[in-house]
Structure 1
């Protein structure tokens, strides 16, 4: 068995596409009817479609999962966040561990928790 992708539910698919493109460099691979597959196998699905599928309301920002990215140019990424056209919500400050690894936790526009760390 092989994991093929990870799907997150979003309120506004266009806003989310721009967020993941401008900050993380993810491009659209396939788009159809409220679903978008981005590079790195991240899938975005509009909330109304997912709610119809599971017959329940979506609970945004539930802290039940996290997307993890690694970035070699961490300082450059932090600058990109500062200049992003929308306010980025952070889950805490930049943390630097004793062995040199740095991480930052933040939220996407719908409250999905994202961690960005140095390799």
Structure 2
């Protein structure tokens, strides 16, 4: 057995598709009416579909998990993030951990936590 995808819930699937493509360069593989599968194993699902499966409310910014990306030239990424999404909500701006890795954490358009770090 192997992990196939990671699914996150979004309110506006088209805005989220653009967000993930603009910032991370991931491309759409399959658009299946409220479910979008992308390269790198990311799946976006429309919030209405997810709520109907669970029968529960969605809790944005629950801080229970994060999507982690690595970027060699993190300063260029930060500039792109600030230019394309100036009102993005940060958890922490670019910082350096004690072990030398540089990271930035922020929420996507729907409160899903994202971390971008330099390769370890």
1:97–1:60 distance in 2 versus 1, CA, 3 Å: closer
CA distance in 1, matches of 2:91, 2:85: 19
Establish whether residue 69 from structure 1 lines up as the match of residue 62 from structure 2: no
TM-score, scaled to structure 1: 0.95
Aligned to 2:104: 104
TM-score, scaled to structure 2: 0.94
Deviation, 1:93, is 2.2
- Once the two structures are superposed, the pairs formed by residues 8-87 of structure 1 within 5 Å of their partners are 8-85=8-85, 87=87
Partner secondary structure for residue 44 of structure 2? strand
- Number of corresponding residues: 119
CA distance in 2, matches of 1:99, 1:114: 20
The C-alpha deviation readout for 1:32-84, integer Å capped at 9, x for no partner, is 11000011010000000001111112111111110000001111101101110
Deviation, 1:85, is 4.5
Structure 1: 5+ residue stretches without partners = none
Deviation, 1:97, is 2.5
Cα RMSD for the two superposed structures: 1.1
Partner secondary structure for residue 9 of structure 2? strand
